[in-house]
Amino acid sequence: MSETPPLVRYSVEQGVATLVLDSPANRNALSSRLVAELEQGLAEAGKDPSVRVVVLTHTGGTFCAGADLSEATSGDPTANPRRLVATMRSVVELPKPVIAQVNGHVRAGGLGLLGACDLVVAGPKSTFAFTEVRLGLAPR
């Protein structure tokens, strides 16, 4: 039986913890699993005394498409947004600087994730948008 590959890859090299959003099939959407893995990586980086800085980056052409809408229709519709806010708070409160390295599209909740970082470095392929308005929603 094969193990499911992680949606967030975590590595540490020379004092730099790197968290890579690695779910390009759904444009790195903030599924409950991806958010849980991101929170785990942030916690590990925060506890590791050898880590001096955290870099948040991505695979594929999209840094983050925002909420995973396939999960939005099941269960409590407020659960994932509340968890995302908690994750953003984890980024803000991390006792080490968090730098986002982006070279792709950033949408909706992905912008919130970037806003929580201490510094964002965006490459020439980066685009930014609050797409919730197309769904008749307002970002909060």
Question: 39, 44, 71, 132: which is the annotated catalytic residue?
Answer: 132
**Mutual orientation of helices 109-116 and 79-93 as an angle, nearest 10°?**
20
In a domain, 2, yes or no: no
Q: Domain containing 72 — which CATH number? A: 3.90.226.10
93 tagged catalytic: no
Is residue 59 a part of any domain in this protein?
yes
Share of the chain above pLDDT 90, in %: 73
Total domains, the chain: 1
* Total count of residues recorded for the chain: 140
Residue 78 placed within a domain: yes
Q: Running DSSP on this structure, what letter comes out for residue 5?
A: P
pLDDT tens figures, 38-80? 999 999 999 999 999 999 999 999 999 998 877 766 666 666 6
Per-residue pLDDT tens for 69-128? Answer: 777 666 666 666 778 889 999 999 999 999 999 999 999 889 999 999 999 999 999 999
Q: 111 lies in which domain range?
A: 8-135
pLDDT of residue 23 exceeding 70: yes
